[in-house]
Structure 1
Amino acid sequence: MPGLWSPVEVGRLRLPHRLALSPMMRNRALPDGSPTPLDAEYFAQRASLGLLITGGTQPSADGQGFLLSHGCHTDAHIAGWQLVTKAVHDAGGHLFIQLMHAGRVAHPHNTPHGRTPVAPSPVAAGVGIHTPTGNQPVPVPRELTTAQVRATVEDFRRAAAAAIEAGADGVEIHGANGFLLQQFLSANANHRTDAYGGSVAARTRFVLEVTEAVAGEIGADRTALRLSPGLRAFGIDEGATGPATYTHLVRALARLDLAFLHVTHHGDDALLATVRAAWPGPLLLTRPGAPVDERAADVDSGLADLITLGRPALANPDVVARLRTGAPLNAPDPTTFYGGGAEGYTDYPTL
């Protein structure tokens, strides 16, 4: 894996190698969404990865979809994230806060406000999610008005400013995994007839406006975007329009000179090649479930500039040292992935 250990520049950062921490929701925030000292410990333990990306963090109250997910839109959130960013920086790492609006993948029982989730159109995802009363089907969402869509763009802008105030090195906008931004991109979830629905240009407009607003607020070199072309999850089916949608979107994004584009690969190699060809900047690639050596080959081939580690990093705070020396890896414990305390979060052993 020779390419993994060469340095790389990403926005304002010079990173010592090509590994990054994959964004993973761990659902250990306080009930109001604030990070805790345990979060600071967790991320600082993994600082040797260089670039750490947090799990999905709601940019507004209506952006919350899951129990005990983090937020980045109140003074308490900022204070909590300051604990995290200081711990990471003291340990020599860098942190991007991932801003994620869940959209229709949400349930009123999971939020303090109890409101019906919002989405581009009143189309239910057709899935269930965990709630305090067990797995429950997500409801039919409220359709955002045109004015509310524009207000949501401003929510992302303000949350990005809050992230920088909290000491983060940048923000990754979550445009993937079936959440709000991808709901706008997918014609089967977006039935709008205003300026944000219909044609490829209209369906990509919201994603571009959010990205432009965040980059305008904190700088393009501190802004990244995550996409998952071809994903079929949480009711998303981009169908035959997917390739045209992502070709148009990535070409438009290329003009913004973002810190990086993060792509989660779901098997469409031709579409991934198209995205790579259209994107001139650093590309961070996630291959869910793929062995580390397979991911490393993406760097060696030039397909990716950086790769993420998810479960290997979750279970191995010193994963960089283990990979460098060929040491065995701890096995992750899926029963402790979501919620809880230190067990399965900060208590995995190091070498």
Structure 2
Amino acid sequence: MTNTKKLLSPLDIGPLILANRVLMAPMTRSRSAQPGDIPTALNAEYYGQRASAGLVISEGIPISPGAKGYAYTPGIYTDAQQAGWKRVTDRVHANGGLIAAQLWHVGRIAHHSVLPPGQAPLAPSAIRARSKTFAFDENGVPAMVDCDPPQALSEKGIAAVIEEFVQAAKRAMAAGFDLVELHGANGYLLEQFLSVSTNQRTDGYGGTLENRARFVLEVVDAVSAAIGAERVGIRLSPWCPPSVNDMDFQVEARDITLYLAAALSVRHIAYLHLAEWPGAPYPPGFRNQLRSAFTGAIIVCGGYQQDSAQALLEQELIDAVAFGKPFIANPDLPRRFALGASLAEPDGSTFYGGDARGYTDYPSLPSRS
């Protein structure tokens, strides 16, 4: 049987003690009640089934109507949505788990069919993404459609978005989440400010590396002031390839990530979560540099298996590993790791939208008699 001692050992993150280091990664599943993008009892069942994760990280949750880019994603900007998420967190807690809310603004990865009437996608610069998003076609049918041209945020607009993050974080705490994770990865708004390919501003939010990192740090500071830095994590994706939302985060990826890591360490946030890309290993020495720069917990995600996760944990370069697709089909993933049991494979045709099929109907292992 594979050694899982480190993978299944407890971990302190912020004010929490995680039962293990097998985290559930954030995954968009596009299942919410309409109209209103409201979490439902089905969402509560789904997350509750997976509460044995050391920490469940929710799907990306749009922080405002203008932050939305995908159809049927549950938000956290109305009372009804907040109440829906309370059902989710109550179920996770009742099942002995902990859960973080991933707060999301998609920026330019959006289409008018899911945005408020007359509103264009927002971005650091008015550069259209050569990408698609899951929205509605000209016939109102859910489909992958081209992203619309974005509007560059004014400085007043930037301040408004920061306040939306703050209000969403406050609602997340009121809904019972244990932590919030700021989505700064995968080509969405926060990462769009970081990259020279998407940020061509000439004001205090563009140009130099420090200026491009300013928006991210201002969001972190504002949310930390509202709910406490010890309850804030952030997800980044250095070396994000162009195939991901037309995002070229190759230039300065090391420098800007290490700059942010040091700045976030001084702010004493709970954790740094890195999305990684299979087939694109980090350059030599980067993990050691990151560990030196950031003193909080480091989480990684991206194609890890039980053995590869355990091996990296044993090197003490990371503290936890988030698993995505394995958690879709294996709601009791930590137990399967502990027993060395085989893993079920998820049905990709049911990832986005739909009902209980491919969502809550994957079985756990039978209980011991």
* 1:242 aligned partner: 253
Match of 1:348 in 2: 362
Q: Distance in 1 between matches of 2:95 and 2:117?
A: 37
2:273 aligned with 1:262: yes
Which consecutive segments of 4 or more residues in structure 1 shift more than 6 A? none
Match of 2:28 in 1: 25
User: 2: distance between equivalents of 1:234 and 1:317?
Assistant: 29
1:131 aligned counterpart, secondary structure:
strand
Would you say 1:16 and 2:19 are equivalent positions? yes
Unaligned runs of 5+ in 2: 138-142
Q: What's the counterpart of residue 111 of structure 2?
A: 107
Q: 1:48 aligns with which of 48, 52, 58?
A: 52
Aligned counterpart in structure 2 of residue 154 of structure 1, from 163, 167, 190: 163
* 1:102-147 Cα distance to aligned partner (Å, 9 max, x none): 0001111123546211100000111122322233211210111111
Shift of 1:276: 2.5
SS at 1:154 equivalent: helix
**TM-score if structure 2 supplies the norm length?**
0.92
The DSSP-based 3-state class of the residue aligned with 2:7 is helix
Cα shift at 1:241:
2.2
List alignment gaps of at least 5 residues for structure 1. Answer: none
Aligned to 1:308: 322
- Residue 293 of structure 1 and its aligned partner are, at CA, apart by 1.2
Counterpart of 1:75 in structure 2 is 79
Calculate the TM-score normalised by the size of structure 1.
0.97
C-alpha separation between the residues in 1 aligned to 2:72 and 2:80? 14
Q: Which amino acid aligns with 2:311?
A: A
Deviation at 1:242, TM superposition (A): 2.1
TM superposition shift of 1:48: 0.7
Q: SS of 2:82's equivalent? A: helix
User: Are the counterparts in 2 of residues 265 and 272 from structure 1 also a CA contact under 8 Å?
Assistant: no
How many matched pairs? 350
Deviations 1:27-83 (Å, cap 9, x if unpaired)? 101231211100000000001113100011011111000000111111111110110
Alpha-carbon distance change, 310 to 114 in structure 1, aligned in 2, over 3 angstroms:
farther
Which whole-Å CA distance do the structure 2 matches of 1:30 and 1:112 have between them? 18
Contact 2:136 2:145 in 1 (8 A): no
Output aligned runs, 1:1-351, within 5 Å: 1-31=4-34, 32-111=36-115, 113=117, 115-133=119-137, 134-232=143-241, 233-266=244-277, 267-270=281-284, 271-286=286-301, 288-351=302-365
Q: Equivalents in 1 of 2:346, 2:144: separation in Å? A: 23
For 1:47, what is the secondary structure of its paired residue?
coil
Q: Give the SS at the match of 1:55.
A: strand
Letter in 2 for 1:135: M
Give the conservation status (yes or no) of the 8 Å contact 2:75–2:81: yes
Deviates further, 244-253 or 48-57? 244-253
Aligned AA (1:20): L
